[in-house]
Structure formats: structure tokens, C-alpha cells
Structure 1
Amino acid sequence: MVNNRKRREILQSVRAANFPDGTGMKAVLREFEKDKSRNIGDRYIHSVIMQANMDIIITINPDLAELVHDASWIMVDTTFTVVHGTTNEWKLLIWLKGLDKRTVIGRVWSNKATREAFVVVWNGIFEAIKLITGKLLNFKVFSKKSSLLGAIGDSEGAQAQGLGDVIILRRMNTPQVNGIPTVTVDGILLFIWKTCLVHFKRGVFKLEAHVDDYVFNCLLGFPYLETSEEIAAYHDFCQASKNPKVQSWWAHKISYPWLLPSLNRSLTQMNHLHWDLTPGDTNPIEGSHVQDNQVNHTNLTILEAVLSYNIFYFIYSCC
């Protein structure tokens, strides 16, 4: 066992015995075909999309899916260490009010992080929840029957825009009924999306070596501005900067009309009570990455990654 080559040979022989069809996407597709023969309440893999250069696998634990209808908020994030290669894991986490704890109810495996890919991801999530639970998932601002106050993620625009696209695609908002006149993606995200403050601060800290203390502290203070005058002065301050690092940072922030409002209570269109009842950062889901890595391995093949969490969910649901 001290010989690296011998260890690799042993692992390869075990893998060949356990996975005669291989451990790539074709093997995942065959596993999905097996899942489709089961009752909806027993399925774990709910869709596999393979088109052009985009591979997406949507998995949801059916025993946990019902809980999302009682969740106060959802949180999403991507982690990059579980699967070997270009495929990453994207998690859907909810907060359970009754148990006062976080729970990951779904995992998506994707080799793309574009807006188009996230349209497929979000639509697959909403469709799977509808099929499993028999109920449509929506946000409280669009449907009084819903308990979902908002969604929290990092400042990557694609996943937020993909969510907005799917809300329009699935006609989740009916302006003439609820009075929320959102017919564009940017307008929709103003009412439901919060960007993680920790990620915002990380971006500012990357500028620390390139600006003086006064500029650094000014940039860092945006989420805490309260008046329209303060916010206008902040815009003018950033717009007037001659520092190329600050210019690039500011260009990213204003390229998404919903991004700055998703960081500041005074700018958001989200109900302020909803804002106060949802987290300001993605620490709960970041912590789940560490917890997962303590239970499961990293650098797995795609089939092993998908199946390992299926087993993990099975153990969880039996305890």
C-alpha cells in the first residue's frame, strides 16, 4: 500500500467492478433512466441535460423537498472541489423555521455557469419541486400563499439573472393580481434577491493594496448608507475615481441594476420586514461545504459524486 502505482491499480479495479458502465456522464444518464422507472417520491436524479457542451444534473431529495414550502428563504452557492474536472456542485439550501437549522435539499452538477445554464438549473429545480410535492414554489411577494421571503447568493450575476428569467418564464409574478409591476429580470430581482455582504467585502479588500485608507473605508461602507444623499455621493465618488482598479470594480457593480440594491436596505424594493428576516451573507451555505467535505470525499468522478450524496441523503432520512 505504500506504492502509488499499486494503490491506483487497486482503486481502478474496485471502480471497474462497482461501475461497469464507467463513471462519466453517460453512466449518470443510465442511472437517471433507472430513477425514471421509480415513483416520483423515490427519485433522486430528476433531470439530466446534455446539449452542446453543457452538462447539467439536477438532484433533489424527495423526503426534503416538501420542506421548501415552509422555508423562510433559500440560499444558493457553488463549490468547486467535489468533482474532478470542470463540473462544479451548486447547492440549494433552505432554513427550517420549526427546527431552526439549515438543510440542503438539492444539488445541481454543472460544467457551465452562464446565464443560459442557470435558466436550465432554476427551471429544473422549480419543476422538480412541483412534480415531487404537487405544489408550485413561489415567493411571498408574488404569492401570499408562499412563505419564501427571498433568495441569497453571491455577486455572480448569472445565477441571479437566471432566476429572474425563470420567474418570467414560469409566470410566477402576476402584476395585475399582486400589484408588483415587475416585467423585467432587473425589476424582479429588486424584490427578491440579496447579495452576500461577505462577498462584497472580499471584493473591496482586494482593492486595499491599491487605494489609501480613506478610499478603502468609503468603498467598504456602501451597504450601511441610509439616505438618498449618501448613496448619490457614493455614486459620484466612485464615478470620479481615476484609479483603474476602482473603475473596474465600480463598472462591475453598476453593470447589474439590481446588484447595489441587493446590498443596501435603503435601495432594495424588498419588503423591509422580509429584508430583516433574511440573512445578509451566505455563511450558512459556506459552512455546509465544510460539513460535506468532512463526510464525503472530494475530487470524485461525476457519477461517484452524485451517488455519494444520494447515499448520504438516504442515511439522513432514515435517522
Structure 2
Amino acid sequence: MVDMSYKRVFGEMNEFEFNAYDEDNHSIVTFCRIFTNGSDSKIYQCMFTTFFEVYEDLTGEKPSFYHFNSEKKGWAAIIVDLDKGQAKGLSLALNSLCNSISAEQHLLYILKSCSVHFERNVRNSKYSDESKFLMRQLLKAKTKDDVDFIFEQLETIGDEKIHDWITEYQTPWILASLNHNYSLMDYDIWMTTPFDTNVSECSHANVNREGTRLRLKTAIFQRFHNYQKYNIPMSSKNKSGTKRKIDANKRKEYPNSKITKQKAEKMELKELNE
């Protein structure tokens, strides 16, 4: 599953993560982190393509996806959060790997949208409670006729701008990512893969414990505490929890003395590496 984190880096930079849950070891695995200052379809296409290229460089094999692999092996589902730019970027990147089907058809085979994000969008909308109740049934509808009935009932209620909502959620890839009746994904895969991006959210929470609103360089290298190895000085303000603890300890140890910037940086690097 993939998701964008907006808290880790200070300023316009955000962190795009590729995550999965390792059932054998009961742990979250983060395959890749990409830092970006954009989120349109072209940027997402670039990030997905870059991830595929890095995967090939590391493994010596091209990324394999279940729906276009002759042996039915490879990644079978990607869970996203209903971001249109993200979905389009993914479809274009997949199309560069396999152009025997259209870019949008790739999404019908592999995409699932996070039910939590869908529920949040419904809850925060300005539609009536009656309409919201029907919207939530979209995920549970057992047949295409049931889905059609939901849209018909929403039209009948006639909330302001409800037609815009119906038009959006009748978009083939969106509808297919929320209800299996419209998806081309194998039913067993649909039922055995996650229905939300909670793994990614947990990954964000775990890494954010090390600090938020960080400098870009700090966010990249902090987990490994390799500032000395990469010769990257802590030259600008770091607001992470770790940095605040270091500063507090310095104030306790040297309450009445002045510490030169160079000496403070050396002390900081030493403490981070301990």
C-alpha cells in the first residue's frame, strides 16, 4: 500500500511511502520512502516509475504484477486513499511496464481504495444523513443492481450537488476500487488483502516518533544516525523530540557556560550515534 505523509518534513516537502505488512514476522515493512514537493499525476507517475526502477536495480528483475504475469505471480493489490492524481500516476507507470491493456484498465485489476478514507469523506460531506447512509452502503452492495439502486435513491433524495458525487463515484476505477462487483481483481485476492491503509498510517506514526517538521536531510538520515558517515552537519534548526532532549541535557550540564557552535555540533553528533 502507498500513502503520503505530511508531518515529517518541515515546509513544502512531504514523504511518500511504499509499505506492506509482513504476516510471517508480524511487522510493517517499508520498501521505499520518496520525498517530494508535489502531488499531481505526473509527479506520482515519476515516483512510481522511480520505485520500479530501484526495485529492478536491487533485485535484477522487473517488477511483477499478478494481473499481467503469465504465471500469476507478483503484486496483486495496491491500496490507495482515493487520490485521483495518485491513481492516474500509478496507471501511467503500470502502463509503461505493460501496454497490452490501457492505463485505466490496470487500475481495475489492481487498485483498492481505503474504506477509512471513504468513510471520512462521507462523514465530512455536507449531504443529509439519509444520503450519507446510502453512500456507506456502496462498500457493502452485493450486486451491480444494488449499486444502481443506491445511486437512484441518492438522485431521488436530491441533495444539493448530489449529482456531482454520483458522477465522481461512478468513475470506473473509483467504483471498482470500492466494490468488487466492478473490479477485475480475483475475488480471493480482493477478500484477503487489506481494505484500508492502516499499515501505512501506523508506519507514519512510528517514524514520526523520531520527530516531525524536520529538515529534509535530518528526515532522510536520522533513522540511521549516520551524520558523521555522510558528513552532514546539523546546521539548521531541528525540532525533533531527540534534538529537544539533547538541548535540554546541554542546558543542564552547562547552565552558565557558552558552547561554541562547532563544539555543540560535535556533541550533538556524538549523542545521536550513541
Q: Sort the TM-score into its range (normalised by shorter chain).
A: 0.7 to 0.9
What's 2:73 paired with? 146
Of the candidates 260, 265, 287, which is equivalent to residue 175 of structure 2?
260
Q: Max radius of gyration: which structure?
A: 2
The 2-side partners of 1:123 and 1:243 are apart by 41
| Post-superposition offset of 1:152 | 0.3
The 2-side partners of 1:138 and 1:239 are apart by 42
What's 1:203 paired with? 121
The 2-side partners of 1:244 and 1:86 are apart by 35
What's 1:272 paired with? 187
Of the candidates 51, 66, 80, which is equivalent to residue 125 of structure 1?
51
Of the candidates 139, 142, 164, which is equivalent to residue 223 of structure 1?
139
Of the candidates 87, 105, 116, which is equivalent to residue 160 of structure 1?
87
The 1-side partners of 2:146 and 2:225 are apart by 52
| Post-superposition offset of 1:100 | 3.4
Note if contact 1:137-1:146 (Cα within 8 Å) is conserved in structure 2.
Answer: no
The 2-side partners of 1:310 and 1:270 are apart by 39
What's 2:213 paired with? 299
Seen in structure 2, the aligned counterparts of structure 1 residues 239 and 187 have a Cα distance that, compared at 3 Å, is: farther
The 2-side partners of 1:218 and 1:145 are apart by 36
Q: Report the residue type matching 1:205 in the other structure.
A: R
The DSSP-based 3-state class of the residue aligned with 1:104 is: strand
Q: Report the residue type matching 2:41 in the other structure.
A: R
Note if contact 2:137-2:150 (Cα within 8 Å) is conserved in structure 1.
Answer: no
The DSSP-based 3-state class of the residue aligned with 1:78 is: strand
Of the candidates 36, 61, 80, which is equivalent to residue 110 of structure 1?
36
The 2-side partners of 1:190 and 1:310 are apart by 39
Moved over 6 A (4+): none
> Aligned pair count?
226
| Post-superposition offset of 1:251 | 3.7
What's 1:185 paired with? 103
| Post-superposition offset of 1:131 | 0.4
The 2-side partners of 1:106 and 1:252 are apart by 31
The 1-side partners of 2:22 and 2:79 are apart by 15
The 1-side partners of 2:61 and 2:25 are apart by 22
Note if contact 1:191-1:270 (Cα within 8 Å) is conserved in structure 2.
Answer: yes
Q: Report the residue type matching 1:301 in the other structure.
A: R
Q: Normalising by the residue count of structure 2, what TM-score does the alignment of the two structures yield?
A: 0.76
Note if contact 1:194-1:263 (Cα within 8 Å) is conserved in structure 2.
Answer: yes
| Post-superposition offset of 1:136 | 1.4
Question: What does the per-residue CA deviation read over 1:174-223, in whole Å, with 9 as the maximum and x for residues that have no partner?
Answer: x5xxxxxxx2222110000000001111111113x640x33221111101
The 2-side partners of 1:239 and 1:302 are apart by 48
What's 1:45 paired with? none
The 2-side partners of 1:122 and 1:241 are apart by 41
What's 2:222 paired with? 308
The 2-side partners of 1:117 and 1:127 are apart by 15
Task: Report % sequence identity.
Answer: 25
Matched, 1:94 2:20: yes
The DSSP-based 3-state class of the residue aligned with 1:231 is: helix
| Post-superposition offset of 1:260 | 1.1
The DSSP-based 3-state class of the residue aligned with 1:306 is: helix
Note if contact 1:152-1:281 (Cα within 8 Å) is conserved in structure 2.
Answer: yes
Question: What does the per-residue CA deviation read over 1:93-148, in whole Å, with 9 as the maximum and x for residues that have no partner?
Answer: 02324323321121011111000001100000000010011111121121126332
What's 2:203 paired with? 288
Q: Normalising by the residue count of structure 1, what TM-score does the alignment of the two structures yield?
A: 0.66
The 2-side partners of 1:284 and 1:304 are apart by 24
Matched, 1:243 2:162: no
Q: What do you get for the CA RMSD once the two structures are aligned?
A: 2.0
| 283-292 or 105-114, which deviates more | 283-292
What's 1:85 paired with? 11
